């Protein structure tokens, strides 16, 4: 192998190693991951929460054994592919080996190390953004129409993964109009490629139509409950933090697009970034929605810096900067310490505001880490309660949220199919058989109310157990067991489902 290939392989191996090393074994999967894993058992062309691509990956994960290590492999794999695309982008821009190493280092030691730990659509989203920009660069280089069709296929994959990729086009189209590349919009292959893309995403669009476009309802709910509280100032602060070690590279890339002649062909990317960020800010998007923008600009910056820097010490400093700035992030941004160790070092986290949850209060752990605890305990205790029931096959396990339902379904040894009125689970109730028993999983603090409300419908009501994991966000979640229903509870369930849907 050539030196170039050895270095590339080395970066990819390091990427995989870091993704696993930066998670302490005390942590379970994150609550969002359980929902996506459960989608594998409910194949469809769409879901209330996300398009179908993540469910296809979840199905592959099931075929490979469904272990935690397999789950974590795929976001790491998408992150490794992002590094590969950035490397190939630098080569397409005629960057030499130093530029490849500089760009790869900048992308490796960034927010992607955290993003690529979680089985969510975000890792694939960043890969698709980066690949879309890469295919456009290849077209501008070669004028070969196959790259337009490649763009169309990647866009379709990105759309079927996360609708967020539409923002890339929102930024790219006006950028094209501002440059000499506007003539591209007169190329018939652009519209043929659009037809290919539309054909690929059509099944999902039809699913949305058949289900009254739940994505619109989801976005409206998101805007009312979450995005309305997003600070536009905080959005820009987060952009700096995401690629803190590469922020100078990104700035150099933007400057190079304006003044460096070899990059002048790609000047539209300067305007594309501005328009895309403007769209995100207008819609009060969460900061992490924009992460996919930046890897390609790290590549531009690496090419520009490599061309303007020859001194060995200065080149070394450029490569070392992302690594050095990663060190303080390593100490606080990853679940790489046990919960007890984080509590002992809580002042470090508190100073940075990392202990503040969405309720506005400080807690023992960062919310993201607390969402990775207590799930195995919950599933084991539900398992035990289920096994003790007479005729357990006629037991409904009903949860308060998708994290509880997904975790129980993932870890349970018994043939449990837990559901909730939350998220996609509202479509996964099996009301084809009457239920005799109910195991109700309730978030802490509602013990008396639940017994008073549901208990009279059953011959026997009891509390089986609760989640006691000290630092889990689900701590106090209670497991109620209701035995021998006095009435048919299915009509009540059907009525509740209809109310929640509308």
Same domain, 361 and 468: no
Same domain, 349 and 427: no
Same domain, 118 and 206: yes
Same domain, 363 and 410: no
**Confidence at residue 299, expressed as pLDDT on a 0 to 100 scale:** 98
Beta bridge partners, 462, equal: 481
**Confidence at residue 216, expressed as pLDDT on a 0 to 100 scale:** 75
- Residue 41 CA to residue 33 CA, distance in Å, equals 14
Return the sign of the alpha-carbon dihedral for residues 174, 177, 179, 185: positive
Residue ranges in the chain whose pLDDT is less than 70: 218-230, 445-446, 501-502
- Residue 212 CA to residue 218 CA, distance in Å, equals 11
231-243 pLDDT tens trace: 777 788 888 888 8
Same domain, 422 and 484: yes
Same domain, 28 and 13: yes
**Confidence at residue 332, expressed as pLDDT on a 0 to 100 scale:** 86
**Confidence at residue 220, expressed as pLDDT on a 0 to 100 scale:** 66
Same domain, 355 and 389: no
Q: Are 464 and 457 in contact (CB under 8 A)?
A: no
> How many separate domains does the chain show?
3
Same domain, 395 and 430: yes
- Residue 266 CA to residue 388 CA, distance in Å, equals 66
Same domain, 262 and 389: no
Q: Are 383 and 424 in contact (CB under 8 A)?
A: no
Q: In the numeric block, which tokens belong to residue 498?
A: 């209809």
Q: Which of 302, 332, 362 is the last residue of a domain?
A: 332
Question: Which residue range forms the structural domain that includes residue 407?
Answer: 375-501
Q: Which of 132, 111, 102, 86 is nearest to 252 (CA)?
A: 102
Same domain, 43 and 167: yes
Same domain, 402 and 327: no
- Residue 85 CA to residue 205 CA, distance in Å, equals 29
pTM for the model stands at 0.94
Q: Which of 274, 306, 332 is the last residue of a domain?
A: 332
Same domain, 366 and 432: no
Burial class (CB in 10 A: 0-12, 13-18, 19+), 384: middle
Per DSSP, the residues of 388-451 read: HSSSGGGEEEEESSHHHHHHHHHH-SS----EESSGGGGG----SS--SEEEEEE-TT-HHHHH
């Amino acid at each position: 192998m050539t030196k170039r290939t050895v270095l590339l392989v080395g970066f990819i191996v390091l990427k995989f190693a870091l993704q696993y090393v930066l998670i302490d074994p005390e942590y379970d999967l994150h609550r969002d991951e359980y929902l996506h894993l459960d989608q594998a058992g409910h194949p469809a062309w769409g879901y209330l929460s996300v398009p179908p691509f993540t469910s296809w990956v979840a199905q592959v994960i099931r075929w490979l054994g469904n272990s935690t290590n397999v789950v974590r492999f795929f976001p790491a794999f998408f992150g490794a592919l992002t590094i590969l695309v950035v490397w190939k982008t630098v080569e397409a821009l005629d960057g030499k080996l130093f530029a490849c190493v500089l760009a790869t280092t900048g992308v490796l030691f960034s927010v992607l190390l955290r993003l690529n730990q979680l089985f969510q659509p975000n890792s694939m989203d960043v890969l698709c953004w980066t690949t879309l920009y890469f295919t456009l660069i290849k077209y501008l280089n070669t004028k070969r129409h196959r790259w337009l069709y490649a763009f169309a296929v990647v866009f379709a994959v990105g759309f079927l993964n996360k609708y967020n990729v539409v923002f890339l086009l929102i930024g790219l189209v006006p950028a094209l109009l501002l440059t000499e590349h506007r003539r591209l919009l007169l190329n018939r292959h652009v519209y043929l490629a659009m037809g290919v893309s539309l054909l690929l995403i059509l099944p999902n669009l039809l699913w949305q139509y058949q289900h009254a476009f739940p994505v619109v309802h989801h976005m409206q709910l998101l805007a009312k409950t979450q995005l309305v509280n997003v600070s536009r100032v905080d959005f820009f602060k987060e952009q700096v933090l995401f690629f803190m070690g590469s922020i100078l590279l990104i700035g150099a890339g933007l400057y190079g697009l304006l003044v460096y002649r070899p990059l002048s062909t790609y000047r539209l990317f300067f305007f594309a970034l501005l328009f895309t960020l403007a769209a995100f800010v207008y819609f009060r998007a969460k900061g992490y929605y924009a992460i996919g923008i930046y890897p390609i600009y790290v590549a531009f910056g690496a090419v520009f810096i490599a061309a303007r820097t020859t001194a060995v010490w200065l080149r070394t400093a450029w490569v070392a900067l992302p690594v050095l700035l990663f060190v303080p992030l390593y100490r606080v941004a990853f679940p790489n310490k046990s919960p007890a160790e984080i509590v002992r070092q809580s002042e470090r986290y508190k100073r940075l505001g990392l202990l503040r949850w969405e309720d506005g209060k400080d807690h023992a752990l960062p919310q993201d880490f607390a969402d990775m605890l207590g799930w195995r305990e919950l599933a084991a205790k539900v398992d035990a309660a289920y096994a003790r029931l007479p005729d357990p096959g006629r037991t409904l396990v009903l949860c308060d949220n998708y994290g509880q339902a997904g975790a129980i379904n993932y870890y349970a040894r018994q043939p449990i199919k837990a559901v909730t009125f939350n998220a996609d689970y509202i479509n996964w109730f099996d009301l084809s058989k009457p239920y005799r028993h109910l195991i109700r999983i309730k978030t802490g603090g509602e013990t008396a109310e639940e017994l008073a409300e549901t208990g009279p419908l059953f011959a026997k009501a009891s509390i089986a157990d609760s989640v006691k994991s000290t630092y889990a966000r689900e701590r106090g979640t209670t497991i109620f067991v209701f035995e021998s229903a006095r009435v048919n509870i299915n009509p009540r369930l059907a009525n509740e489902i209809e109310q929640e849907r509308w």
